[in-house]
Amino acid sequence: MKVLAAMSGGVDSAVAAARAVDAGHEVVGVHLALSRMPGTLRTGSRGCCTIEDSRDAHMVAGLLGIPFYVWDFSERFKEDVVDDFIAEYANGRTPNPCMRCNEKIKFAALLDRAIALGFDAVATGHYAEIRPSAEGTPELHRGADLNKDQSYVLGVLTPDQLDHCLFPIGASASKADVRAEATRRGFPVADKPDSYDICFIPDGDTKAWLSDKIPMRPGLIQDEAGEALGEHDGAMTFTVGQRKGLRIERPAADGRPRYVLGVDPQENTVTVGPQEALAVDELEGIRTTWAGPAPADMGRSEEAGIDCEVQIRAHSDPVPARAWLGEVRTEVPAAEAAPLGPVVPRPRPAGQVLRVAVEEPLHGVAPGQTMVIYRGTRVLGQATIDVSRSRARAS
């Protein structure tokens, strides 16, 4: 099989490429240049796709004896990931750029080009597994090392994409085993730190970065009753669940800390309240996709739904839930999108709506986050959280 190995310059993708070679595939390595500043340097564990990363990937490809190329996807990355990130924050949402990068870059733009060039599959260093279903179709499952499992950020993959994906290190028992293998192979990246945070904000200061991209204006920080408590310098830099940096002038009557409950970019207000007001037990998601066939037993009511688990962050624990399908929506004006809780209503794109009720309340759920639903280790699908509510508070 002809395989294109996406080589980020890290240890995981290096070992993944090596295992693809060992499996007898015809492997070609490619590094994606995503930064619009090609001279960007890496700072410890912050940032990725830098000039050092490109060089590291090239060295590993040389040791493996495989061809190596650098593909410039910086324009696509800016349009599909960076600009989307800015637009989401400008609309009061909290996006996940890693999900968008996997969806739009690594498994859309890259995979499309690979197939057009005659490759059969793209191999990456993700900790996830693809297993055949009883019918022989590919299913996406958690990686063997649950501490490193990356199936959450791959939840956007479609069945057609899974048909052309390889995750050679997904069955590895641990990251330590992958590093040990890299050492045995003589890879210079064996001890290279993992990258973290948002790759295009290498200093980690998201608020300052956004302040340069979105026009900011002062506004009110208010409580749930609308009483002014202080001022902010830009509503769009706040996110639901945030506690620090609120600069509230008056303490709460009970002396307890307050948290961001909602952000309204139109009114330029930030609503805060007690931690218990963050608890939600029902979610509604848009832009729904399925990592395989949609569950055949999922109906259009909670009673006709399915038992599953839902995960709302890459490193959070899944919680037991019930999932069912809402009505397929067409584009509607914001004024017609009825709010389910403290979340501000927004225009909703057309598509299938996924509704989830959790057995245990979730806290700090922000619109724009991704919810991924599982059955055991299998990823069923995902949706972008649009609204959330507490049934107890709504009744």
Catalytic residues: 101, 199
Q: Which two tokens stand for residue 388?
A: 């959330």
Cα dihedral sign, 106-109-114-120 = positive
Report helix, strand or coil for 2: strand
Q: How far from 211 is each of 9, 90, 207, CA to CA, in Å?
A: 30, 10, 6
Report helix, strand or coil for 52: helix
Distance CA 83, CA 226 (A): 32
Q: Which residues of 61-100 are buried (b: 16+ CB within 10 A; e: fewer)?
A: beebebebeebebbebbeebbbebbbebbebbbbbbbbbb
Distance CA 334, CA 372 (A): 25
Q: Which two tokens stand for residue 336?
A: 């017609």
Q: Which residues of 188-206 are buried (b: 16+ CB within 10 A; e: fewer)?
A: ebbebeebeebbbbbeeee
Distance CA 313, CA 106 (A): 20
Residue the block writes with tokens 């989830």 = 356
Distance CA 170, CA 151 (A): 10
Nearest to 344 by CA among 366, 370, 318: 366
Distance CA 138, CA 158 (A): 10
DSSP string, 267-306: TTEEEEE-GGGG-EEEEEEEEEEESSSPPTT--SSSTT-E
Nearest to 311 by CA among 99, 79, 19, 27: 99
Q: Which two tokens stand for residue 155?
A: 């939840």
Q: Which two tokens stand for residue 377?
A: 């280790």
